Structure 1
Amino acid sequence: MPSLAVDEFETERPHLLSVAYRMLGSHAEAEDAVQEAWLRYHRARDAGDDIQDLRGWLTTVTGRICLDVLKSARVRREAYPGQWLPEPVVSRLDDPAERVTQRQEVSLALLVVLEKLAPEQRVAVVLHDAFAVPFEEIAEVLHTSVAAARQHASRGRKAIADGQARNTADRAEQSRVLEAFLTAAADGDLRALAAVLAPDVVTIGDGGGVVSAGRNPVFGADKVARFWVGVFGRIEREVAAMSVEPVLVNGDAGVLVSGRYADGRELLSVLSVAVADGRVTAVYNQLNPAKLGSVADR
């Protein structure tokens, strides 16, 4: 293939990875989807297809690929051990280049609720609302009518509105509330911890069946406070050394927790929060080693 075509595709790769990650919540699956898009582009070029709008063409092709992945992934994720969280995008606070990139990231709060949508709803919402793909093209991706594509998007938006944790705070407020949350949990101060939790707060942990994280979400300020006081109590008793580094997690305030248990096991966790009205509305704790490879290599 001519080098110009290769360069044109590589220019679009970051955009396509963003599209695929929003749809799949997995870096590895997103990269595979984009690679398949490259192969289809290669074949289309070889066949002499006239591609006028390369970004639009590649975006819809990537949408089709992700739709197939989502349909096949539903069975796997229904059998997933415990709770499922997406792979986090983690960057340091002191890296200006990464902070610019992070502003373009989709929050974990949104990715968590996107995971609950039907594949067609997720594709329709992501393509139209995040990337302004016309419904005429979305209908082609979904192999349905324009009216049906609009309906998939409408139902997806309603599910998001009903199910997404409130996350309206700016980063400064997120950091302040997260620090208060961590301090109270580490001190074992149930009263102070409950004070920074919204009444309908939820905590979700993903251990992938490898690390203990709780098989079900924990709801409510009192139960979530007791849960996290218990977690920090166990860490204090069992972890010989631990560090807590403030980071950005999908553009929001979070921490990278690392350390080693007395028996030699490694502790690695990425924790972030959704915050609204000065209180934590959701806590996301990613512990699954399979989803923390990029973090472990830092």
Structure 2
Amino acid sequence: MAELSAFEEHRGRLWGVAYRITGSVADADDAVQEAWLRWQALPDGEAADPRAYLTTVVSRICYDQLGSARSRRETYVGPWLPEPVVAASADDAEALVLDPQDRVTLDESVSMALLTVLERLTPAERTAFVLHDVFAVPFPEIAEVVGRTPESVRQLASRARKHVRAGVPRRAVDRTEHRRAVEAFLAAVAGGEFDGLLKILDPGVVWRSDGGGKVTAARVPVVGDEKVARFVQRLARGFDPARMAVLVRDVNGAPGLVFVDPVGEQAAVFAFTVAENGLIAGIDAVLNPDKLRHLDLDAL
């Protein structure tokens, strides 16, 4: 049997790889569990480099998952957003998805905006991008995962990189400025201040909400500061402060908002993209209860 402590040493990295490839907490958990079972069945000493071996194993599992996931998402009701990673602080979030050996910053590589763009890539492009650009896995090792030549994998990663650069605005503000924008948004919503919302929303802001047909949500993106402000104000009318709590928490590596209804055991998670001008350029609202099952509402 392979050394079990070696697997635990790399568990954080494996989960981080799996989550970025699949965009799903549940699928990442399943992939890591399957990798664990395969590792247990491996003869002792079979893997000369446990880190590389396990990364390849979990990546193959996730690559296979993407095929069936794409077919499910083609029939998904409304926009599909990743399952959010929510933590009380940046340190907690980093510990959840990163192996200390990687030293990869959480915010850029796991942002909701990036994961949403990765959904537009082919499974091979997405896998190549995550492994090479985020985790610095060499092309020959990625080739083993996707069944291509190293040169083909290099081209896959290059195409994916171009899509990401075109579709993901870089986070040009620091955490303090990002949090300031989120808190200004919350204050304007709580105060019913339409003008206050307009002041913090970028003119081209895009609102995406993922209800999955399980709860009421906009089935197409809402675009533009005035349209988003009006939409948010309509939503706010259903907020009961006596029953629901709103928390500023790290959502996929940056300050976001979590709405919790302790009585109904329901939640909604909001991730924000803040542009270089300090205004909110994107709001991704995950409302589908199936995508929030992993959250420990009591711990938030």
Fold equivalence (TM over 0.5): yes
- Structure 2 residue 65 is the aligned partner of structure 1 residue 69: yes
How far apart, CA to CA, are the structure 2 residues paired with 1:210 and 1:297?
Answer: 23
How far apart, CA to CA, are the structure 1 residues paired with 2:122 and 2:94?
Answer: 31
- Structure 2 residue 18 is the aligned partner of structure 1 residue 34: no
Which of these residues, 258, 261, 281, is aligned with residue 259 of structure 1? 261
Question: Quick check: 1:256–1:268 contact (8 Å CA) kept in 2?
Answer: yes
Q: CA deviation at 1:241?
A: 2.3
- Structure 2 residue 297 is the aligned partner of structure 1 residue 296: yes
Question: Quick check: 1:193–1:225 contact (8 Å CA) kept in 2?
Answer: yes
Partner of 2:213: 209
- Structure 2 residue 233 is the aligned partner of structure 1 residue 232: no
How far apart, CA to CA, are the structure 2 residues paired with 1:174 and 1:137?
Answer: 37
Partner of 2:251: 249
TM-score by length of 1: 0.89
Partner of 2:83: 87
How far apart, CA to CA, are the structure 2 residues paired with 1:99 and 1:151?
Answer: 32
Q: CA deviation at 1:199?
A: 2.2
How far apart, CA to CA, are the structure 1 residues paired with 2:26 and 2:274?
Answer: 28
Q: CA RMSD in A?
A: 2.1
How far apart, CA to CA, are the structure 1 residues paired with 2:133 and 2:274?
Answer: 23
- Structure 2 residue 186 is the aligned partner of structure 1 residue 182: yes
How far apart, CA to CA, are the structure 2 residues paired with 1:141 and 1:251?
Answer: 27
Map Cα deviations across residues 157-210 of structure 1 (whole Å, 9 max, x no partner).
Answer: 111111124432211111111111122233333222122112221111111211
- Structure 2 residue 23 is the aligned partner of structure 1 residue 21: no
How far apart, CA to CA, are the structure 2 residues paired with 1:16 and 1:265?
Answer: 34
**Secondary structure in structure 2 of the residue aligned to 1:244:** strand
Q: CA deviation at 1:10?
A: 1.5
Q: After the TM superposition, which of the residue ranges 146-155 and 97-106 deviates more from structure 2? A: 97-106
Q: How many pairs does the alignment contain?
A: 287
- Structure 2 residue 150 is the aligned partner of structure 1 residue 146: yes
**Secondary structure in structure 1 of the residue aligned to 2:239:** helix
Kindly tell me: are residues 267 and 12 of structure 1, through their superposed partners in 2, closer, same or farther at Cα, counting changes over 3 Å? closer
Matches within 5 A, 1:104-119: 104=106, 106-119=110-123
**Secondary structure in structure 2 of the residue aligned to 1:247:** strand
Q: After the TM superposition, which of the residue ranges 27-36 and 186-195 deviates more from structure 2? A: 186-195
Q: Identity, % of aligned pairs?
A: 46
Q: After the TM superposition, which of the residue ranges 103-112 and 115-124 deviates more from structure 2? A: 103-112
**Secondary structure in structure 1 of the residue aligned to 2:249:** strand
Q: CA deviation at 1:79?
A: 1.0
TM-score by length of 2: 0.88
Question: Quick check: 1:67–1:123 contact (8 Å CA) kept in 2?
Answer: yes
- Structure 2 residue 163 is the aligned partner of structure 1 residue 159: yes
How far apart, CA to CA, are the structure 2 residues paired with 1:7 and 1:234?
Answer: 49
How far apart, CA to CA, are the structure 1 residues paired with 2:229 and 2:95?
Answer: 33
Which of these residues, 118, 125, 129, is aligned with residue 125 of structure 1? 129
How far apart, CA to CA, are the structure 2 residues paired with 1:97 and 1:281?
Answer: 25
How far apart, CA to CA, are the structure 2 residues paired with 1:86 and 1:99?
Answer: 16
Partner of 1:98: 92
Map Cα deviations across residues 218-274 of structure 1 (whole Å, 9 max, x no partner).
Answer: 1122211111111112335xx7522211111122101221237xxx85552111211
**Secondary structure in structure 2 of the residue aligned to 1:241:** coil
Structure 2: 5+ residue stretches without partners: 97-104
- Structure 2 residue 283 is the aligned partner of structure 1 residue 283: yes
1 or 2, which has the higher helix percentage? 1
Kindly tell me: are residues 63 and 266 of structure 1, through their superposed partners in 2, closer, same or farther at Cα, counting changes over 3 Å? closer
